[in-house]
Amino acid sequence: MTPKKYGIFSLPVIVAALGYFVDVYDLLLFTIVREPSLQGIGVILSDTPQVIAASTKIINWQMVGLLMGGVLWGTIGDKKGRLSVLFGSIALYSIANFMTGFVLTVDQYAWARFIAGIGLAGELGAGITLVSELLPKEKRGIGTSLVAGIGLFGAVFAYIIYSVTSDWRLCYMIGGALGIGLLLLRVSISESGMFNQVKEQVGVEKGNFLMFFNNKKRFKKYITAILIGLPTWYVIGILVNLSNRFATELYGANAIESGKSIMYAYIGIAIGDMLIGLVSQYFKSRKKALLSFYLLTMITLVFFFSSFNYSDTTMYFICGMLGFSTGFWAIFITMGAEQFGTNLRATAATTIPNMVRGALPLLNLVFLNLFQKTWSWNLLQSGIVTGILVMMITLVAFYFTEETFHKDLNYVEQ
**Residue 248 CB-half CA count within 13 A:** 9
Alpha-carbon span 38 to 51, nearest angstrom: 8
Q: Which pLDDT does position 39 carry in this prediction?
A: 92
Mean pLDDT to the nearest integer, 327-350: 85
Calculate mean pLDDT across residues 280-301: 94
Among residues 219, 171, 225, which one has the least CA distance to residue 28? Answer: 171
- The confidence score (pLDDT) of residue 408 equals 78
Helices (H), 167-257: 168-186, 193-199, 216-227, 230-234, 243-251
110-114, 151-155, 375-379: which is most confident: 110-114
pLDDT tens readout for residues 37-92: 999 998 888 877 888 888 888 988 998 898 898 888 888 878 877 677 777 888 89
- What is the rounded average pLDDT of the residues 191-210? 65
What's the confidence (pLDDT) of residue 322? 97
What residue spans define the domains of the chain?
A: 11-192+207-399
Give percent above pLDDT 70 in the chain.
Answer: 93
- CATH class as words, domain 11-192+207-399: mainly alpha
Torsion region of 71: left, alpha or beta (phi above 0 gives left; psi -120 to 50 gives alpha)? alpha
| More confidently predicted of 222 and 8 | 222
The pLDDT of residue 191: 56
> How far is it, in rounded angstroms, from Cα 103 to Cα 118?
18
Output the furthest CA–CA distance in the chain (Å, rounded): 67
Average pLDDT over residues 228-252: 92
Q: Quick one: pLDDT band at residue 1, thresholds 50, 70, 90?
A: very low
Let me know if 265 is exposed, middle or buried by CB neighbors in 10 A (0-12, 13-18, 19+): buried
| 198 compared with 161, residue with greater pLDDT | 161
The answer on pLDDT for 7 being more than 80 is no
Kindly indicate the confidence band of residue 359, based on its pLDDT and cuts at 50, 70 and 90: confident
What distance in Å separates the CA atoms of residue 325 and residue 394, rounded to the nearest whole number? 14
Model pTM above 0.85: no
